């Protein structure tokens, strides 16, 4: 065992630290890149790079910085590494297979957006060939070694991209993730790994593994850096058939520090698997204990349907997509493909269309079950990996151990979920451990905000460096999925317009009173009969109301249907809380009957009922 001690002799490579040094004039990008190339030589045996850029190759991007302002370019002079299945103009793309190599004329859209923001490519990194694997040993360029312990796997397939950041050879990096490749290497190298919602980052310029499932991913030291890189890289791309527009609720400004109680779904002990790694098992339970002490609430979920989905990825017909991605090479020159990778891909020519449809039917059934459970919590939390294998162990049983690495990861993209891998512990054996947060589509910033809180609760160094990695963003984010609305009349339970709440999935939160400063009026017109309420400190009283929690995504249509003279304003409840609710504009109260003395709409309606029965 050869453990790498924390690197104390290099500068802080975080995005914020480098930007500060640049703005102060204490450092130049050329100095940083020169230092990286020099230090990269010390790690040649780690097999990080397939193509480390020379000074001449980098010069075009370094020279372009002269025309870019550091203040307006968030990644000005920031070094980043690129997994070698993602295009960089003028530099060969190999996907880990020399016989497959080609030289693209243009960069992948994500890469170009990062360069436009001032980022500087460092090189193309090693990977499990054709992004087929979770371990980092399936490459003709050599097994990529772990940043903390040379004898252990780096994780894959985005192996070199993770190790480059962990060892301070880039500030962040791009990987990909179909089955866990953007999360497992993050765990094994003490990094944040962002597996975004499918389509959030363009896949144009990416060599596909499974085109319908692939995601370009980001490795970073902390969630602050990850959010900056994600904000720069994301964006709708009409040339990518799987690209999707990011909703407002998931924009970069929605990232911060998640506050309050957080409801976390966890796997029952009987369904956890650590494959004999007692250090990882201990680290996982210790992580949960520390989080529950800081306001995280744990709720057990049944992992069985998630595991069944995971098995569909490699045991089902989706392997056909990997076959499509490697044609005609696997047909005409199968010897050019790494043996283990070839054994996985070759059967992909056999599944029939009927098998795919049957698998899709089963997947949709399982998806309903999985999402129903996820709807009850803020996110799921799993170990990112159950065991950290040595390279020797992986080479001895490459299929079995790779499958074990995917136990907590393979379900993700088939269910169209987002996830963030976040480091939480350094084990007693000196190896990193981390957990993965899982959320529904376009919950990326919500997950990043929760991961921010976890990093601040459980601070660790940046990768294998000595610098602290804790994020600095403390802006409180509550990430509400519902908006509370005060109703006082026709929307009350049992009243004619209550369906406008219930059919939008709103839930009754409480029955209460306003502060004693509101007047209630019976408005003219109808049906249905409706009240109007206004703030009147001198003439007002306490009015009986209900508070309903309306799904945020439905709130706009609810408000749009409110007729004049009513609208939504802020109403102060008896406990002093200010909540959005129905108010009436002054002009609409002309000729209306003041019914404040009844103390609420339902009591007023009772008097009308009594008068009709007499």
**Residues forming the active site:** 83, 157, 181
Residue among 119, 218, 162, 168 at smallest CA distance from 12:
168
> What sign has the CA pseudo-torsion 391, 397, 401, 403?
positive
**Pairwise CA distance, residues 38 & 35, whole Å:** 5
Q: Are 89 and 35 in contact (CB under 8 A)?
A: no
**Pairwise CA distance, residues 200 & 417, whole Å:** 12
Could you tell me where the beta strands, DSSP code E, fall in 129-274? 172-177, 192-195, 215-220, 257-258, 262-266
**Pairwise CA distance, residues 70 & 182, whole Å:** 29
For residue 487, is it left (φ>0), alpha (ψ between -120 and 50) or beta?
beta
Q: Are 132 and 344 in contact (CB under 8 A)?
A: yes
3-state secondary structure of 491: coil
Rg from Cα positions in the chain: 28
Which residues, other chains included, contact 290 with Cβ-Cβ below 8 Å and sequence gap of 6+? 457, 458
Instruction: Tell me 390's DSSP state.
Output: B
Q: Are 402 and 394 in contact (CB under 8 A)?
A: yes
Q: Are 165 and 43 in contact (CB under 8 A)?
A: no
Q: Are 13 and 78 in contact (CB under 8 A)?
A: no
**Pairwise CA distance, residues 341 & 361, whole Å:** 28
Which residues, other chains included, contact 391 with Cβ-Cβ below 8 Å and sequence gap of 6+? 137, 143, 145, 151, 152, 153
Cα→Cα distances 77→28, 153, 567, Å: 8, 31, 50
Burial of 129: CB neighbours in 10 Å, binned 0-12, 13-18, 19+: buried
Residue among 221, 245, 235, 199 at smallest CA distance from 117:
235
Which residues, other chains included, contact 455 with Cβ-Cβ below 8 Å and sequence gap of 6+? 192, 222, 223, 422, 423, 469, 470, 471
Burial of 32: CB neighbours in 10 Å, binned 0-12, 13-18, 19+: buried
**Pairwise CA distance, residues 28 & 77, whole Å:** 8
């Amino acid at each position: 065992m050869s453990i790498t001690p924390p690197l104390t002799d290099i500068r802080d490579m975080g995005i914020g630290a480098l930007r500060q040094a640049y703005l102060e004039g204490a450092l130049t990008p050329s100095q940083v890149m020169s230092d990286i190339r020099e230090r990269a030589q010390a790690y040649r045996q780690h097999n990080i790079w397939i193509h480390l850029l020379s000074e001449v190759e980098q010069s075009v991007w370094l020279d372009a910085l002269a025309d870019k302002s550091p203040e307006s370019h968030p990644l000005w002079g920031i070094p980043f590494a690129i997994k070698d299945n993602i295009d960089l103009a003028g530099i060969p793309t190999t996907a880990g297979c020399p016989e497959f190599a080609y030289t693209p004329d243009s960069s992948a859209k994500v890469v170009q957006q990062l360069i436009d923001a001032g980022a500087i490519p460092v090189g193309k990194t090693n990977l499990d060939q054709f992004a087929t694997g979770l371990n980092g040993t399936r490459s003709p360029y050599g097994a990529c070694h772990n940043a903390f312990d040379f004898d252990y796997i780096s994780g894959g397939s985005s192996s070199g991209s993770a190790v480059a950041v962990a060892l301070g050879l880039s500030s962040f990096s791009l990987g990909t993730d179909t089955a866990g490749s953007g999360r497992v290497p993050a765990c094994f190298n003490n990094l944040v790994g962002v597996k975004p919602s499918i389509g959030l980052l363009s896949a144009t310029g990416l060599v596909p593994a499974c085109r319908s499932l692939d995601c370009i991913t980001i490795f970073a030291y902390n969630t602050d850096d990850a959010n900056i890189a994600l904000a720069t890289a994301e964006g709708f791309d009409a040339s990518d058939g799987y690209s999707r527009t990011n909703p407002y609720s998931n924009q970069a400004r929605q990232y911060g520090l998640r506050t309050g109680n957080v409801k976390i779904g966890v796997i029952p002990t009987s369904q956890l698997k650590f494959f004999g790694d007692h250090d990882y098992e201990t680290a996982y339970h210790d992580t949960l204990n520390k989080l529950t002490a800081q306001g995280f609430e744990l709720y057990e979920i049944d992992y069985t349907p998630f595991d069944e989905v995971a098995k569909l990825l490699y045991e089902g017909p989706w392997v056909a997509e990997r076959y499509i991605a490697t044609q005609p090479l696997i047909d005409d020159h199968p010897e050019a493909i790494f043996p283990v990778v070839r054994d996985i891909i070759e059967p992909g020519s056999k599944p029939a269309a009927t098998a795919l449809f049957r698998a899709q039917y089963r997947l949709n059934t399982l998806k309903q079950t999985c999402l129903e459970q996820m709807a009850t919590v803020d996110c799921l939390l799993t170990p990112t990996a159950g065991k950290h294998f040595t390279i020797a162990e992986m080479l001895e049983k490459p299929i079995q151990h790779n499958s074990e690495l995917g136990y907590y990861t393979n379900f993700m993209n088939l269910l169209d979920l987002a996830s963030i891998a976040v480091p939480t512990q350094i084990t007693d054996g000196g190896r990193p451990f981390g957990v993965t947060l899982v959320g529904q589509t376009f919950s990326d910033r919500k997950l990043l905000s929760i991961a921010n809180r976890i990093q601040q609760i459980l601070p660790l160094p940046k990768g294998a460096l000595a610098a602290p990695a804790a994020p600095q963003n403390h802006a409180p984010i509550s990430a509400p999925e519902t908006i509370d609305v005060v109703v006082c009349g026709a929307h009350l339970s049992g009243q004619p317009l209550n369906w406008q709440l219930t059919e939008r999935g709103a839930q009754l939160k409480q029955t209460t009173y306003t502060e004693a400063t509101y007047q209630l009026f019976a408005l003219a017109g109808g049906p249905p009969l409706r009240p109007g309420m206004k703030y009147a400190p001198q003439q007002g009283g306490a009015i009986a109301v209900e508070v309903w929690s309306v799904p945020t995504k439905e709130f706009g249509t609810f408000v749009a249907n409110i007729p004049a003279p009513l609208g939504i304003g802020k109403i102060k409840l008896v406990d002093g809380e200010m909540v959005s609710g129905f108010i009436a504009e002054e002009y609409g109260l002309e000729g209306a009957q003041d019914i404040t003395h009844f103390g609420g709409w339902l009591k007023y309606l009772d008097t009308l009922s009594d008068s009709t029965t007499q």
